[in-house]
Amino acid sequence: MRDNLDYRYKIAEEAVALEFEDTRGERFGFKVRFETTGDLGLAFEEDKILTCRNRCVFCFVHQQPKGMRRPLYVRDDDYRLSFTHGNFISLSNLDDEDISRIIEQKLSPLYISVHATDDDLRRALFRNDKLPPILPLLQRMIDGGINFHTQVVVCPDINDGAALEKTIDDLFDLYPGVVTVGVVPVGLTRYRQRLPHLKSFDSETAAAILEYLHRRQKEFKKKSSTRFVYAADEFYILAGKDFPSLAAYEEMAQFENGIGMMRLLLSDFSRRRRFLKLGNTRSRIAMLTGVSAFEALRKGIVQPLRKEGLRLDLYQVENRFWGEKVTVSGLLTGHDIMAKIKSLPKEYDIILLPPNCLNNDRLFLDDLSFDDLQKKVASEVRVGYYSVIDTLNEVTG
């Protein structure tokens, strides 16, 4: 067994023979036959993560200050995590054995950071002169039955315009092996000392790229059964444009990439609003969010709820830690959230936090724990769900 994934792959058989070696070198084994899909209950150490060999001009890890917890500096580029968790990878550290394994074990779909299909431009973006050509590599695995969801992080004046058009066209030529392309604006923090100068998007440039992508979606829909290319929510927020319908996101394949999150949140609220049970409307509730989601939440959710008598106020949390250009709620730190809570104009009974600001260990990005934050503020603090209806039914029920 090379890793946990090997074990999971081989344990899926109807009958499995296992052999163990003890500390004295003696071997013993037994066979197991599963009537249905089984689990032997074996637990293993975590696999060593395959790390990135690139130095991307927009790498978020390189835009972090020193002194944070160690996992935040790990630049994973692991095809196993791409398969199991949807992590985007560059395919820059694969050898023939890895590729053969991906095809043999049908590790599909994988999530690939393409950014540009022009190999010279892609090498410049990744700052890796040894980066293999991307299109032949994708084609080889597609021929082996592997599908891909891809992303393009767009840097103004670098891989937009004609370069973006070539990238999208090249990837569509590989459809349906390449299932989707997600187009995401570059994210810049205030920690970019000694890093390449990059521009960020504004309302005008965001509107222009949306117009282009919507036109391409119509073209692809005529040629195939899919829109194929999708814009990140942040483009709509920057441009001040309405989000598309939920159906326009089709399978929501790039939800975790910030594509369709806001539309799903708003649509879920509208569709399930009749199931809202406001048992306790006397509680004063403050909902916190990042700057980018504030206006959509205010108009689409908070205003209608206030009309129903809910004492709910919405506040945006400025990202002092990463800088004002980082506006998503998933990158808010515990100390920025705590500072906002302490600055609120009145004391609330309940403070609702965004659902994506904590990790599985209940830690914020700056290592502040949820429990420590709760001890330092007077109000009850809760973490919301992606469904506002479920959150409020729990809070007010």
* Domain CATH number, residue 71: 3.80.30
Nearest to 249 by CA among 260, 264, 240: 260
Do 208 and 271 share a structural domain? no
pLDDT (tens, 9 = 90+) of the chain, 397 residues, equals 889 999 888 888 888 898 999 999 999 998 888 776 567 788 888 889 999 999 999 988 888 887 777 777 888 999 999 999 999 999 999 999 999 999 999 999 999 999 999 999 999 999 999 999 999 999 999 999 999 999 999 999 999 999 999 999 999 999 999 999 999 999 998 888 888 899 999 999 999 999 999 999 999 999 999 999 999 999 999 999 999 999 999 999 999 999 999 999 999 999 998 888 877 678 899 999 999 999 999 999 999 999 888 899 999 999 999 898 889 888 899 999 999 999 998 889 999 999 888 888 899 988 899 999 999 998 999 999 988 999 988 888 6
Q: How far is CA 26 from CA 16, 18, 97, 132, in A?
A: 20, 14, 30, 44
54 belongs to a structural domain: no
Q: What pLDDT does 153 receive?
A: 97
Residue range(s) defining the domain that contains residue 24: 1-47
When divided into structural domains, the chain yields a total of 3
- Per-residue pLDDT reduced to its tens digit, 335-363: 999 999 999 988 899 999 998 888 888 99
Same-domain pairing of 90 and 32: no
Residue 182 and residue 67 share a domain: yes
Same domain for 179 and 70: yes
Task: Assess whether 105 and 202 both reside in one domain.
Answer: yes
pLDDT at 247: 96
User: Of 259, 290, 307, which marks where a domain is finished?
Assistant: 259
Are residue 96 and residue 230 in the same domain, yes or no? yes
346 φ, ψ to 5°? Answer: -150, 165
Among residues 242, 259, 276, the one where a domain terminates is 259
The pLDDT value given to residue 40:
79
Evaluate whether residue 53 is within a structural domain.
no
The answer to the question of residue 364 being in a domain is yes
Is the same domain home to 374 and 351? yes
- Nearest alpha carbon to residue 368 among 329, 321, 333, 324: 333
The pLDDT, as a whole number, for residue 37 is 57
The reply to whether 56 falls in a domain is no
Predicted model pTM: 0.89
CB distance 309 to 244 below 8 Å: no
Amino acid 121 reads L
Per-residue pLDDT at 257: 93
Domain boundary among 238, 259, 280: 259
Range list of β-strands (E), the chain = 15-21, 27-33, 88-89, 110-113, 148-154, 178-185, 229-231, 285-290, 312-317, 350-353, 380-383
The confidence score (pLDDT) of residue 36 equals 61
What is the Cβ-side half-sphere exposure of residue 283, based on CA atoms within 13 angstroms?
Answer: 19
Does 319 lie in the same domain as 244?
no
Cβ pair 276, 268 in contact under 8 A:
no
Q: Are residues 27 and 93 in the same domain?
A: no
Contacts 24+ apart (CB under 8 A), 76-81: 76/49, 76/50, 76/51, 76/52, 77/50, 77/51, 77/52, 77/53, 78/49, 78/50, 78/51, 79/50, 79/107, 79/110, 80/3, 80/5, 80/47, 80/50, 80/107, 81/49
H or E element at residue 266: helix 261-272
281 and 344 both lie in a single domain: yes
